[in-house]
Amino acid sequence: MRRMFALVLLAVPVFLSSAGRAADTPTMSQPSGLIANVEHRKTISLNGTWHYIVDPYDNGYYDYRHQPRKDGFFQNEKPKTPRDLVEYDFDKSDTIQVPGDWNSQKKELFYYEGTVWYQRAFTYRKPAGSRVFLYVGAANYLSRLYVNGAPACEHEGGFTSFNCEVTSQVKDGDNFVVIYVNNQRRRDAVPTDMTDWWNYGGLTRDVELVEVPNAFLEDYFLQAPKGASGVVDGWVQVSGGTLPVTVRIPELKLEQKVQPDAGGRGAIHFTAPGLKLWSPGQPKLYDVELEAGGEVVRDTIGFRTIEVRGRDILVNGTSVFLRGICMHEEAPARPGRAHSEADATTLLGWVKELNGNFARLAHYPHNRNMSRVADRTGLFLWSEIPVYWTIDWENPATLANAKRQLAEMIRRDKNRASVVLWSVGNETPVIPARLTFMTELVKTAHQLDQSRPVTAALETHYAEPNVKMIDDPLGKELDVLGCNEYVGWYERTPEDADAISWKTVYDKPLVMSEFGGDARAGLHGSADARWTEEYQENIYRHQIVMLQKIDFLRGTSPWILNDFRSPRRVLPGIQDNYNRKGLVSDRGERKKAFAVLKEFYAALAAKWER
Ligand code: GCU
């Protein structure tokens, strides 16, 4: 069955779930639609040193009757007379760096789960005829933004970017911004309260002011549509009017003046006979200019097609094998959340070193540098929302939250050629309520972006003693099947993998989205000794024997590129709060299994890319 991935991007109304707020929290406004390509707009960075106040009782937000305070910390008050009672002072409080999680910056916040208030001053002069937005790359998990004491917006979700308009809140001269961030885990949240990663809290990515004209180009999408070579299709979305947008691809000498309709939407269509398609082997990016309202937005976009045909994944019409590895957003060789271009370059450089062409960004959307670097260096990406393990499946607010995070993920990275798969979750249970919930997410992903296949990491079971079966009912809704298995670590012995075969009830491609085992870097012993590098190496050797026999396999992404922090992993001297399944340690040391996977991928590259 050939699934055609054409291009339709609909406005799907998804609203912030009420779950993120206590009943009596004053309703702050929702973020506005994410401005496309913030990194190439006119921005004023607010990164750097911020003051912060740790507020475990939300005392800066609620009074003693649990009512929202009018004089909350967001007012950044100072005593006006010696008699005034003000029991906080940002200027006299400690400082912290933004971007960056608080756990790895402050020893006393290593395990902290609660509220931290951030504050910084900034001077500003608003250009005439412009609008100003406050952009946050990510704030884990619930955040509330204030400028000069006035509420701007609130956001729930620790891994997606958002912005809110602050044109009326900013003033010429001295300003201050206060951001409330609370990272408490909740049963009804996305992710839920149980995960296998560190709950890094705070402003973990860039914070910027974004200046745009009164009427501006808010969003756009350009891609090579299915089955029509030498064509670029897309659309523009303007805000504040129906101003025309001129779209140019200078290298192809293409220019089109788009007149948006009453809703601000306008269609782009280019015939581009000389169009070079993007692929890992040829990561061709085109400079694209979009001019509207006096602003020229410059982007670099790769054009490629992707489709699923039977058990094949076709990129630009050619069947591909995704030689990958999973990764958390764990900084390379330093504790804490990765966030910078340098982090992305290092992490994705390790994938290339493995002879890989693919990375599964687990289990949540990663920072914007990852897809930008992957576009440039030529890597496929799997991008995922944190619908992880046992979500509150029957809670409508939880579903709305998951849908919104899915929409935010797609909205930010839809123009990134490297992103080839949207994943709607990981290892969710085979129960009716979950199937309903996840089917809704698959439908939403297809509504929002029909140019990419949708997947999820499923679990499997033994249909016979040595036959693993993929028949999860969610597989019927997915375009590409992901499946996690741990033969040799959580089940059986590494050698048992040699005798295991796989079956599936679906005529669809499979990406083995997790396998592997732990090893403490530098711990050596026999291949039978768990936690040694030799044991991990042995798992990979026997996994490869098994994987090579699966004729519907079109990708592998073992768990995981580098060791990552998790409160679940407490074995002293071995784990010490790290999940040790990395092929690279938390200190950047390569373990023996790294070479095994590298060799396997070299052979796969020779076979698939001859
Ligand atoms: C699971 C899960 C990962 C987890 C891993 C492990 O499959 O998807 O998030 O870290 O296994 O147990 O190490």
Domain with 287 in it = 216-304
Query: Do 407 and 361 have their domain in common?
Result: yes
Nearest to 206 by CA among 446, 41, 346: 41
Rounded mean pLDDT of the chain? 95
Q: Which of 246, 273, 304 is the last residue of a domain?
A: 304
* 334 domain-assigned: yes
The total of other beta-carbon atoms located within 10 Å of residue 527's CB is 16
User: Measured from the CB, is residue 581 less than 6 Å from ligand 1?
Assistant: yes
Q: Which of 213, 239, 261 is the last residue of a domain?
A: 213
Please give the average per-residue pLDDT across 387-410, as a whole number: 98
Radius of gyration of the chain from Cα atoms?
24
Query: Do 103 and 156 have their domain in common?
Result: yes
Q: Give pLDDT, residue 14.
A: 39
Query: Do 300 and 331 have their domain in common?
Result: no
Query: Do 63 and 103 have their domain in common?
Result: yes
Instruction: Look up the CATH number of the domain holding residue 254.
Output: 2.60.40.10
Instruction: Look up the CATH number of the domain holding residue 474.
Output: 3.20.20.80
% of the chain at pLDDT higher than 90: 93
Structure-block tokens of residue 11: 């406005």
**Distance between Cα 171 and ligand 1 center (Å):** 48
User: Measured from the CB, is residue 196 less than 6 Å from ligand 1?
Assistant: yes
407 contacts: CB under 8 Å, gap ≥ 6: 12, 14, 444, 448
Query: Do 189 and 258 have their domain in common?
Result: no
Please give the average per-residue pLDDT across 425-440, as a whole number: 98
Query: Do 110 and 206 have their domain in common?
Result: yes
* 410 domain-assigned: yes
Ligand 1 pocket mutation pick from 559, 564, 565, 578 by most atoms within 8 angstroms of CB: 559
* 443 domain-assigned: yes
- The residue contributing the CA closest to ligand 1 atom 9 is 196
Q: Which of 247, 270, 304 is the last residue of a domain?
A: 304
User: Measured from the CB, is residue 392 less than 6 Å from ligand 1?
Assistant: no
Q: Looking at the predicted structure, is the pLDDT value of residue 4 above 60?
A: no
Query: Do 152 and 171 have their domain in common?
Result: yes
- Distance CA(238)–CA(221), nearest Å, equals 12
Query: Do 344 and 412 have their domain in common?
Result: yes
In the DSSP assignment, the letter for residue 543 is: H
Instruction: Look up the CATH number of the domain holding residue 111.
Output: 2.60.120.260
pLDDT digits (tens, 9 = 90+) for 580-610: 999 999 999 999 999 999 999 999 999 998 7
Query: Do 204 and 291 have their domain in common?
Result: no
Ligand 1 pocket mutation pick from 423, 579, 580 by most atoms within 8 angstroms of CB: 579
More confident residue, 188 or 18: 188
User: Total domain count for the chain?
Assistant: 3
Query: Do 207 and 224 have their domain in common?
Result: no
- Would you place residue 27 in the very low, low, confident or very high pLDDT band (cuts 50, 70, 90)? low
User: Measured from the CB, is residue 472 less than 6 Å from ligand 1?
Assistant: no
Please identify which residue in the block is written with the tokens 């040829």: 282
Nearest to 204 by CA among 50, 326, 423: 50
Residues forming a β-bridge with 322: 555
* 309 domain-assigned: no
Say how far residue 221 (Cα) sits from the centre of its chain: 19
Query: Do 450 and 489 have their domain in common?
Result: yes
Q: Give pLDDT, residue 234.
A: 97
* 510 domain-assigned: yes
* 118 domain-assigned: yes
Query: Do 190 and 287 have their domain in common?
Result: no
